Structures are given as structure tokens and as C-alpha cells.
Amino acid sequence: MDASPFALTDTQRQFQDTMRRFCEARIAPHAAEADRTAEFPWNSFEACREMQLPALGVPEAYGGAGADTVTQAIAVEEVARSCAATSVTLLISKLGMLPVMNWGSEELKRKYLPRVASGEAQASYCLSEADAGSDVAAMRCRAVKDGDHYVLTGSKYWITNAGISDTYTVFAKTDPEAGHRGISCFLVEADWGVQVAKHEDKLGLRGSPTGEIVLDEVRVPAANLVGPEGKGFTVAMHTLDRSRPTIGAQAVGIAQAAIDCAAGYMKERRAFGAPIAELQGLRFMLADMAIRTEAARALVYRACAMVDDDPAGELTLFGAMAKCFASDTAMSVTTDGVQLLGGYGYTRDFPAERFMRDAKITQIYEGTNQVQRVVIAKSLLG
């Protein structure tokens, strides 16, 4: 970056303004419908394609824009401010392709990255299982070498974009006796036999499909092994370090939406002969919401800057801090946002309750906040 991680460049501010106008015009109008129907927001995704947003996180050499991670975070925050479910469509394809960008062969990069950058294809990240969420080493999905292929068998849970994605980045055991050292990473095309067993009926992010995928002896070319065999756990953790800060950006966007909604309501709603914005107790609530959100935003930007330049090797620590603090902030701020709208906040006539429902998952996925605190403490204590 040209400036401190706590200050945006002029170019980034201009991009932020452009994104704000774009999202208000093209994304926000579809948000409530995507939540109500629990259907993938194709209109919003196509608008993102027109803005070339899927290209932001892909290197220029493979058809992308090669944007720095802070700029990517700005995009995610602004989209999430209008529709958190749509922001996931950008986050998940980047997450699914990060292992390829950082660990994949040149052949894999040239084959898959340009299609994701153009928005022609989407990707999913398949790490969790029914009994292996935070405990990654407990996974049971198997990959058995068979000539110039691997045969994958097992199921993966909580898969974002299940049934939508064209590729699935799957982590499986190539050596069941080796614990986390026996995990390998594979890029699997959907039409090779990936089955969607079910979709979840979720509290929030309802426009972003989440489901269970099943692999029943799916044959994957050995060329689609991502990184060395047995290094899948390292690939997974390396990837999550680089994606968690942008989950923080999503959380900040949701929190900002709650602040905007509450402030607008407070100026319009009258009680005791004046707008409720004149009531000091409510003003203090709104001020505290803004303070926490701005602090979260600064921490997210700092962690995102480390994704691109981390000479001190502090990304694991700050990525966990950013994700944890921003998501806790989003949950707190959106809950206060509902409170400020009173009874109306509890109805679907206003979006405040959707913001609260959407915020909750940011405390859970890509590592629960309890896991983030374990990571933080481990970094501090050595």
C-alpha cells in the first residue's frame, strides 16, 4: 500500500465511493427477496460480473485485476452492506481458488483461474465434515491413488455454494493413520460426480446456498492435486489465514448497514414530541455502535495489508484478531440496531432483523471465534 494500513489511498477512496453507488443501485434492491426465497441472487451476481468484481482477487497473469487485499476488503464490505449473501458469492470463489493461486501447478492456474476471474465459473471450499469442523484432523473423506488418478470417497458439510459452484476444492485423507499430516488437497470439477445431498434451511445468509456434498468414488486426475501429497492441512491453514480478514470485512459491512438503518429510523421516528434521535440514551447507543465498527474496520484493513506484505510474520495473529473482533462487533451492533427500531426492528418490514441474522454466521464460519481466540493466545504465548 502507498499509505498506512489505517488510511486509504485516494484511489481506494474513489473505488469505495464507486462501490457504494453501485451496490445501492444494483445489489440492495434484490437483498430482501434473496433472503425471503432463500435462492441464489443471480441478478446481483450478474451485476458483480459486469463490475468485474470476481476478477479483483485473481492475479493479472491469469485474467484478474490483481487488486491488493485492502481494495478487495472494500469491495466485500460495500457489497455486504447491501446484501451479505451476495458478498459471500465473491468470498467463496476467492477462498476456493486461494489454494490454487498459492500452491497449485501452473497448469491448474491457467486452466481454472481465468474462468473464475471472469465470473464464468464459481468455486467452493470443502474442508468441514459432520464430525470434523474445528477438528480438521478428524476428517474421514478418503483419497486413494489409482494410477494417474485419485479416487475420492466421503462427504463434506457446510459447503457454501453447494450446487452452484463449478469446482470444489476438497481436502481428503491420503494417509488415514497420519493425522493432519495425512491430508491432501484436490481440485474437483462438479461434473466429475459431485453430488449435493441436501441444502440447509438457515437462520441468515439465506440467499447463499449451504449444503452437504457427497463424493462416491469420484475419479480426480493426479494433476489436480493441489500442493504436495500430505500437505493439505498446511494448504488449508495457509488459505484461512488469508481469507479470514475479508470475513472481517463482510462483518464490518453488515454492522455498517445496521448503523445506517438505525440512524435513518431515529431521525424519522417521533416520540415525546420530537425525533427519537434527540434522546441522549439512544444517541449514545448509536455512537458506541459506530465506535466499535470503526475500530473493527481499522483492524481488518491492517490484517488485509499483511496478506500482501507481512515481513514480521504476524498474519496468523492479526487475521484471527480481525475476524474475531469484527464478527463479534457485527453481532453486537446489529443486535443494538434491532433495539433502536423497537418493535419494528423485530419485524421483516425493516431490514434490521436480517442484518442481525446475517451477522451471526460471521462468528462461526472460517473458524469459530472460540478457535480464533485459541489461535490468538497460542501466538501470544509462543
Amino acid letter, residue 189:
E
**Active site residue: 77, 129, 212, 366, which one?**
366
pLDDT digits (tens, 9 = 90+) for 291-314: 999 999 999 999 999 999 998 899
The verdict on 24 and 35 lying in the same domain is: yes
- According to DSSP, residue 14 is labeled H
Residue located via cell numbers 449451504: 210
Assess whether pLDDT exceeds 50 at residue 136. Answer: yes
DSSP 153-196: EEEEEEEETTTT-SEEEEEEESSGGGGGGGEEEEEEEGGGTEEE
Amino acid letter, residue 7:
A
Assess whether pLDDT exceeds 90 at residue 5. Answer: no
Q: Is residue 299 domain-resident? A: yes
Reading the block at residue 96, the C-alpha cell is 476456493
The verdict on 217 and 238 lying in the same domain is: no
The confidence score (pLDDT) of residue 51 equals 98
Q: Is residue 210 domain-resident? A: yes
- According to DSSP, residue 310 is labeled -
CA distance 185 to 326: 29
- Flag whether the pTM goes above 0.85: yes
Q: Is residue 155 domain-resident? A: yes
| CATH number of the domain enclosing 363 | 1.20.140.10
Q: Which residues contact 371 (CB under 8 A, 6 or more apart)?
A: 134
CA distance 37 to 26: 18
The confidence score (pLDDT) of residue 280 equals 98
CA distance 268 to 261: 11
pLDDT band at 4 (very low <50, low <70, confident <90, very high): very low
Nearest Cα neighbor of 333 from 381, 379, 288 is 288
The verdict on 368 and 259 lying in the same domain is: yes
Measured from the Cβ of residue 20, the count of other Cβ atoms closer than 10 Å reads 15
Domain boundary among the residues 71, 101, 118 is at 118
Assess whether pLDDT exceeds 80 at residue 22. Answer: yes
The verdict on 240 and 377 lying in the same domain is: yes
Nearest Cα neighbor of 137 from 236, 244, 238 is 236
Q: Is residue 303 domain-resident? A: yes
Q: Is residue 2 domain-resident? A: no
Domain count, the chain: 3
Q: Is residue 202 domain-resident? A: yes
Instruction: Output the CA torsion 88→59→110→106 (10° steps).
Output: -110
The verdict on 190 and 295 lying in the same domain is: no
DSSP H stretches of helix in 51-186: 69-82, 84-103, 106-118
CA distance 82 to 347: 18
pLDDT band at 6 (very low <50, low <70, confident <90, very high): low
CA distance 42 to 19: 18
DSSP H stretches of helix in the chain: 10-22, 28-37, 42-50, 69-82, 84-103, 106-118, 232-268, 280-308, 315-340, 352-361, 369-381
The overall average pLDDT reported for the chain is 96
pLDDT digits (tens, 9 = 90+) for 302-354: 999 999 999 889 999 999 999 999 999 999 999 999 999 999 999 999 999 99
Beta bridge partners of 199: 211
Q: Is residue 3 domain-resident? A: no
The confidence score (pLDDT) of residue 94 equals 97
Domain boundary among the residues 87, 103, 118 is at 118
> 301 near 5, Cβ under 8 Å?
yes
pLDDT band at 362 (very low <50, low <70, confident <90, very high): very high
The verdict on 32 and 49 lying in the same domain is: yes
CA distance 94 to 126: 13
The verdict on 361 and 274 lying in the same domain is: yes
The confidence score (pLDDT) of residue 133 equals 86
pLDDT digits (tens, 9 = 90+) for 147-178: 999 999 999 999 999 999 999 999 999 999 99
366 is catalytic: yes
Q: What is the mean pLDDT of residues 10-18?
A: 97
Q: Is residue 201 domain-resident? A: yes
The verdict on 39 and 96 lying in the same domain is: yes
pLDDT digits (tens, 9 = 90+) for 252-299: 999 999 999 999 999 999 999 999 999 999 999 999 999 999 999 999
In whole angstroms, how far apart are CA 370 and each of 243, 367, 374?
Answer: 17, 8, 6
The confidence score (pLDDT) of residue 2 equals 36
The confidence score (pLDDT) of residue 134 equals 87
The confidence score (pLDDT) of residue 7 equals 80
Q: What percent of the chain has pLDDT over 90?
A: 96
CA distance 268 to 250: 28
Domain boundary among the residues 103, 118, 133 is at 118
| CATH number of the domain enclosing 44 | 1.10.540.10
DSSP H stretches of helix in 275-351: 280-308, 315-340
* Residue 244: strand, helix, or coil: helix
The verdict on 237 and 176 lying in the same domain is: no
> 104 near 187, Cβ under 8 Å?
yes
Reading the block at residue 309, the C-alpha cell is 506484505
| Containing structural domain, residue 209 | 123-230
Measured from the Cβ of residue 121, the count of other Cβ atoms closer than 10 Å reads 20
The verdict on 142 and 94 lying in the same domain is: no
Amino acid letter, residue 144:
V
